Amino acid sequence: MAEGWARHLGGGRVAAISAGIESHGKNPLAIAVMRDAGVDISGQESTTLTDEMLAAADILVTVCGHADEHCPVIPEGMRKEHWPLSDPARARGSEKEVMAVFEESRDDIRKRVADLIARIGS
């Protein structure tokens, strides 16, 4: 969702790639809630972080504790931020309750991405 918001809110001024220490593929509920907000992330897919990706990046954002704790050493001069987000894919309950968790996560991520874009001045 963060990559989708960065592309949408950045208006072509930001390049964003979803990658992690593990690849998790696509989540249909994340795709659905982002579509409801007018952002199509169906063509995105999380991949495994590579040294080449790190070398090309200015900012690295980790979104879960596991990634923050196990993040590889980042190049000197790269800025790193950690956003301690709960994984909506772990939500349990009725379909309505699970979707509410995804919507809350989507809205939180939107605010964080908008704030980051504003801070970097893109």
Interval 8-12 mean pLDDT? 90
Work out the average pLDDT over 5-34: 88
Report all structural domains of the chain as residue ranges with CATH numbers, in order of start: 2-113 (3.40.50.2300)
pLDDT of residue 51: 85
What pLDDT, in 10s, does the model give residues 52-80? 888 888 898 988 766 656 666 677 888 88
Nearest partner of 101 among 110, 111, 90, judged by Cα? 90
Structural tokens at position 96: 């309505």
**Interhelix angle for 95-120 vs 28-36, to 10°?**
70
